[in-house]
Amino acid sequence: YSSGAVTTQGRFAFRYGRVDIRARLPHGAGIWPAFWLLPVAQSSWLAPYEIDMMEAYGLTPGIAMTLHWSTHQAQCTLVGPDFSAGYHVFSLVWTPTSLTWYVDGQRACEQTEHIPTVAMYLILNTALGGIAGQPAGAGEFPRVLSVDYVRVYQPAGTR
């Protein structure tokens, strides 16, 4: 089995704005899809910030939306529709004073403390194992993360 990822590291980064990702998530034992942001300039393996737009964990229903800073985190969860049954739009609005997560246009989470002020790049991936548990076997595969689009909107002068 293998995991896969697409990243904008070294190609595109931004500070503040809106990210919309329309995707159909894979589901199953051991499947861990995620959309996240990391700082362009980080001095160690432990990034000073990480924004998880969306993470889904194996057979656990729903998604998590998390802001990590230093060794701390603030997280919201949303148990909604079966995100593998159709396409959904996962959005993040990032301002100097807040992070607000949306799913299909509905506000799902907000964080107003420890907001990153540095440029970040995107990662879209599907991992196997870890928090999502272990894949049940060959019957679980193939699993596909289908992404229709990724759109980033930025306020003028914030790149």
Active site residue 113: no
Q: Distance between CA atoms of 109 and 65, rounded to whole angstroms?
A: 7
Considering the candidates 55, 110, 113, 140, report the single residue annotated as catalytic.
55
In the chain, the amino acid numbered 52 is D
Q: Which of 50, 110, 113, 140 is the catalytic position?
A: 50
102-127: b (≥16 Cβ within 10 Å) or e: bbeeeebbebeeebbeebbbbbbbbb
- Which residues contact residue 103 at a Cβ distance below 8 angstroms, ignoring those fewer than 6 apart? 54, 63, 78, 80, 88, 89, 90, 91
Q: Is residue 55 flagged as an active site residue?
A: yes
Query: SS3 of 130, please?
Result: helix
- Catalytic residue numbers read 50, 55
